[in-house]
Chain A
Amino acid sequence: TQLLEQSPQFLSIQEGENLTVYCNSSSVFSSLQWYRQEPGEGPVLLVTVVTGGEVKKLKRLTFQFGDARKDSSLHITAAQTGDTGLYLCAGGAYNTDKLIFGTGTRLQVFP
């Protein structure tokens, strides 16, 4: 069974701080997605990475896919209250169209 463990599970920080969320597995994935979900809404796609070692930047968010395609990280610089939400990583399984979702990281940013 493929599992994606995220750490930390909960994170509570002040506005302006930096943070990193990790997504780890013993399995290899064809791709890795990051989603953010706010209360009462469905997950919203932030980024898809498909190449081992790939780094993508989206304004204050930096995403990295591990060289071995087993792990990923999300770094947020100068967090804002609007970054509050549930962050989910999801790995694409080879030879299927299915995604394996991580355990989730709940981020709360206080003003």
Chain B
Amino acid sequence: SAVISQKPSRDICQRGTSLTIQCQVDSQVTMMFWYRQQPGQSLTLIATANQGSEATYESGFVIDKFPISRPNLTFSTLTVSNMSPEDSSIYLCSVSTLGAQETQYFGPGTRLLVL
């Protein structure tokens, strides 16, 4: 399985500001995904990060609020823009590999608190 790291691990931000979260994988992967997990809840998919092209967003999530980059096969960023307290959540990246697309491996998550 891939080893995935995320930066920052946690942050406290003021409303109206933006935060960029990084996801780094130790090997090339096929797919990268970004999820949100609100306190005590399950995971909700925000978008699929596509290498070299625009991310594919799920219903309820838009590029202006959650711009995503994926410049290569091992790295992606998620920005939470113009934050409000409702954005307080855990943000997780996950990856899957060619030949095992049904299985995803997760990073440790970024815990965001917006005041």
Task: Report the separation of the CA atoms of residues A50 and B40 in the bound assembly, to the nearest whole angstrom.
Answer: 28
Q: Does A88 contact B (CB under 8 A)?
A: yes
Residue of A nearest to B110 (CB): A42
Q: For residue A28, give the distance in angstroms from its CB to the closest CB of chain B.
A: 14
- Chain A interface (Cβ < 8 Å from any Cβ of B): 30-31, 33, 35, 40-45, 48, 50, 88, 90, 92, 97-99, 101-104, 106
Residues in A whose Cβ lies below 8 Å from that of B48 = 97-98
Q: Is the interface of B mostly helix, strand, loop or mixed?
A: strand
Residue of B nearest to A104 (CB): B42
Do A48 and B102 touch (CB < 8 A)? Answer: yes
Q: For residue B98, give the distance in angstroms from its CB to the closest CB of chain A.
A: 10
Partner of A42, one of B31, B41, B106: B106
Task: Report the separation of the CA atoms of residues A43 and B93 in the bound assembly, to the nearest whole angstrom.
Answer: 11
Do B42 and A102 touch (CB < 8 A)? Answer: yes
Task: Report the separation of the CA atoms of residues A48 and B97 in the bound assembly, to the nearest whole angstrom.
Answer: 14
Residue of B nearest to A99 (CB): B104
Write 14 A-B pairs (CB below 8 A) sorted by A numbering: A31-B102, A33-B103, A41-B108, A42-B108, A45-B1, A48-B102, A48-B103, A50-B102, A92-B101, A97-B101, A98-B48, A101-B44, A101-B45, A104-B42
Which residues B1-47 have CB closer than 8 A to chain A? Answer: 1, 4, 30-31, 33, 40-45
Q: Does B105 contact A (CB under 8 A)?
A: yes
Residues in B whose Cβ lies below 8 Å from that of A33 = 102-104
Partner of B103, one of A45, A98, A102: A45
Do A42 and B1 touch (CB < 8 A)? Answer: no
Residues in A whose Cβ lies below 8 Å from that of B101 = 92, 97
